[in-house]
Amino acid sequence: MSKNLYKLLSTYEYSHAYNNVEVPIRIEVLKSVDKDGIYRARVWALNTYNLYPSQVNTGDTGEDLQQMHSADQVNQDITTLIADDVEILTGKSFKNEGEVLRYIQNKLTSYL
């Protein structure tokens, strides 16, 4: 087997409070099938985007005309945004899955 093969162990989802808004966060924990104690993770945040140009929704004095709004939701990969090391993507040594989750949650707290 390849040394780059990882098994998806668990998927977690929780809400993280950010500016009085609950942001859904999804964490995928993967474990190396070849090396004991090597994990990696992917972190996703659910974002809502307005795909229409601002000038369509904004009046001459800056008021919101609410003419065209979208509610498209996209899961954005924020793993590289929250982690200050790339090992969380390529494989990092942890004692167990719980340690991976604590690491990610600490990173999320400092990022968001």
Q: Where are the domains of the chain?
A: 6-111
Query: Can you list the alpha helix ranges (DSSP code H) found in 9-86?
Result: 54-57, 79-82
Q: Which pTM value belongs to this model?
A: 0.70
Q: Which amino acid is at 3?
A: K
Share of the chain above pLDDT 90, in %: 32
**β-strands 92-93, 38-49: how paired?**
antiparallel
Residue 10 pLDDT level (bands cut at 50, 70, 90): very high
Q: In whole angstroms, give the CA distance from residue 111 to residue 45.
A: 12
